[in-house]
Structure 1
Amino acid sequence: MRDHAEQLAYQANHDALTGLCNRACFEAQATEVISLLTGHGTGMAALFFIDVDYFKSINDTHGHEVGDVVLHAIARRLRARVREDDLLARLGGDEFAALLYPLDDPTQAERIAQSMMDGMRQPIGLPEGATLQASLSVGVAFLPVAPNDTLAGWVKYADQAMYAAKRAGRGRYVVFSGATENGGEKDE
């Protein structure tokens, strides 16, 4: 029974396709990090919102089975780019998030974001030997930004930065700043 309970707990907190943390798991752990940062007043964390560029087109052109292969490959590549203790999650569809904590300085997160971009240069191998090139748009937001930061605010900042990356041409990352424009609708 204990094994069954452990299996159910794992399934409740992980994405079935990628094995990554799911949205509920991610939100719980991100809330803990916010509490640590706001409670102690020291430290820094970065939230990455990651979107696969033109994923709807991949699914429409090649089918959902190929889409699943692409998502699984991207999850593996992202996991290889973040630190072992960083949190990586699939939030749903083609959206991923990474939570980097603790950080020594912002450049540490920017190096990881650039590494994610570099990791997408290699085509993804598909069934029957074909390949597909995919890219990511990544928004990065640092915490703390303001004294009363919440998870919803932090997510909003990372989301705005991700949309700015899409508007800037996709296949890139953008770090949130007060000047980052408001996000728009997702453009596949």
Structure 2
Amino acid sequence: MSLTQLINNLVANASLLLAGLYIISRLTCLGFTTKLPLRRQVTISFLLAGLSVLITLHGVLWNAQADFQYGFVPIMIAALYFGLSGVRITYVASILVLPFILSETLLLIAFLDYSLAALVSVAFLHFRERIIPSRDIRIVNGISLGFITLFSLLNFYTYDQAETYVWTFLAFLTIGYAAGFVLHIVYGGIHKMQRSERLISQYKEAAFTDALTGIGNRRRFEEEMKRVDEEVFTGTQDVALLLLDIDHFKSINDTYGHDAGDVILVELAKRLNDSARSDDVVCRNGGEEFTVLLSDCNLSQGFVIGKRYLRQIAETPFVLPDGSSIDVTVSIGIASTSEAKVVTSAQLTKKADVGLYVAKRSGRNRLGKWKELKAN
């Protein structure tokens, strides 16, 4: 094999490493980080082990030797990102597969490569437990280029001329440095994109979350109403809307203070959220007014759920900051897309609001419907 062919093969081997790490990183969605759940860390460690074996096999098939290839790098990355558990899984999984694809001589060299990579990574973790994300790839590349000299010296006897070995070794170092530099840039870009995606997701979640209660806010409710217009009225499933208002909330604030009022709002939101089904949407529209959008629910089913809310709220007292407790009730208005005269989300909201007025006028702690004179 000529030096030009060998260099081409080394470039291909380095490209395989970069492509494999990029694909694994994108598949994880969150990138490589110790903050990932244990199951995700184990999965990525096995993927890195597979990448190690694939890179080694590629190097052997193209170069007919095992010293100039990057199969050990994924092991080091697993160690640096996932600690001892990462290096154990990746190293052991790689070693168990290698005997099936390499001859005894090449197996010994690859085994030494993998073992030294694991040992150096563990030693590095011992002295530095936390790796700065912007430097970790450069550290991996620096370590790999540092002890690759030892790997290649063990295979020096396979070269007919010392000059060929020197040029091959220099080419490997150059390509290795370039690969590490590119990997640093690629991973840095991925890291920034993932951080931006997380921040955007957090900001979006905050924009649709009520700061006090942690449930959806009015903006979230308005977005759900848009979805009702776009999907529900054009589909086959109905939804029901419960509009809840705490009875005599102003007098509670005046008597017990606004801190007590906030505690009641938080507790009510928790009770509504705990009782809601997985597809229901609970929001605080402002002040003491809450909404529960009941998915796949007609008017009669909504009445059953609404009355259950009335009982659950009225039967259990609310504990105030000073340790005392008071009874709190709510009035509820209900409307549903199953009703003939409800054909838009605006009408759905308006009818529920009228139902709430009926419930208040009928004595509170009741469930009211817009076309009834008296609430239930």
More strand by share: 1
Q: Please, what is the CA RMSD of the aligned residues?
A: 1.8
From 53, 63, 77, the equivalent of 2:247 is: 53
From 237, 242, 245, the equivalent of 1:43 is: 237
Task: Tell me the CA shift for residue 114 of structure 1.
Answer: 1.0
Change in CA separation of 1:8 and 1:145 when aligned onto 2, cut-off 3 Å: same
May I ask how many residue pairs the two structures share in their alignment?
A: 178
Cα distance in 1 for partners of 2:344, 2:238 equals 14
Query: What is the TM-score normalised by the length of structure 2?
Result: 0.45
From 18, 26, 34, the equivalent of 2:229 is: 34
Residue identity matched to 1:97: T
Match of 2:208 in 1: 13
Match of 1:69 in 2: 263
Match of 2:309 in 1: 116
Q: Deviations over 1:53-101 (max 9, x none)?
A: 0011111111111100000011111112221210110000000011111
Higher Cα radius of gyration: 2
Cα distance in 2 for partners of 1:32, 1:49 equals 18
Residue identity matched to 1:91: N
The percent identity for this pair of structures is 37
Q: Which runs of 5+ in 2 are unaligned?
A: 1-194
Q: Partner of 2:322: helix, strand, or coil?
A: helix
More helix by share: 2
Cα distance in 1 for partners of 2:348, 2:342 equals 11
Report 1 or 2 for greater relative contact order, CA contacts < 8 Å, sequence distance ≥ 6. Answer: 1
Cα distance in 2 for partners of 1:161, 1:180 equals 9
Match of 1:23 in 2: 218
Are 2:288 and 1:94 equivalent residues in the alignment?
Answer: yes
Cα distance in 2 for partners of 1:82, 1:125 equals 22
Q: Which range is displaced more, 93-102 or 106-115?
A: 106-115
Contact 1:81 1:112 in 2 (8 A): no
Query: What is the TM-score normalised by the length of structure 1?
Result: 0.87
Cα distance in 1 for partners of 2:246, 2:328 equals 7
Residue identity matched to 1:17: L
Match of 2:118 in 1: none
Task: Tell me the CA shift for residue 144 of structure 1.
Answer: 4.1
Q: Partner of 1:7: helix, strand, or coil?
A: helix
Change in CA separation of 1:81 and 1:180 when aligned onto 2, cut-off 3 Å: farther
Contact 1:50 1:96 in 2 (8 A): yes
Residue identity matched to 2:343: D
Q: Which runs of 5+ in 1 are unaligned?
A: 182-188
Q: Partner of 2:200: helix, strand, or coil?
A: helix
Q: Deviations over 1:114-163 (max 9, x none)?
A: 11111111100112310011100000001143477222211110000001
From 351, 357, 375, the equivalent of 1:163 is: 357
Cα distance in 1 for partners of 2:228, 2:294 equals 10
Contact 2:299 2:339 in 1 (8 A): no
Cα distance in 2 for partners of 1:107, 1:146 equals 14
Match of 2:154 in 1: none
Task: Tell me the CA shift for residue 8 of structure 1.
Answer: 1.5
Match of 1:185 in 2: none
Q: Partner of 1:127: helix, strand, or coil?
A: coil
Are 2:369 and 1:138 equivalent residues in the alignment?
Answer: no
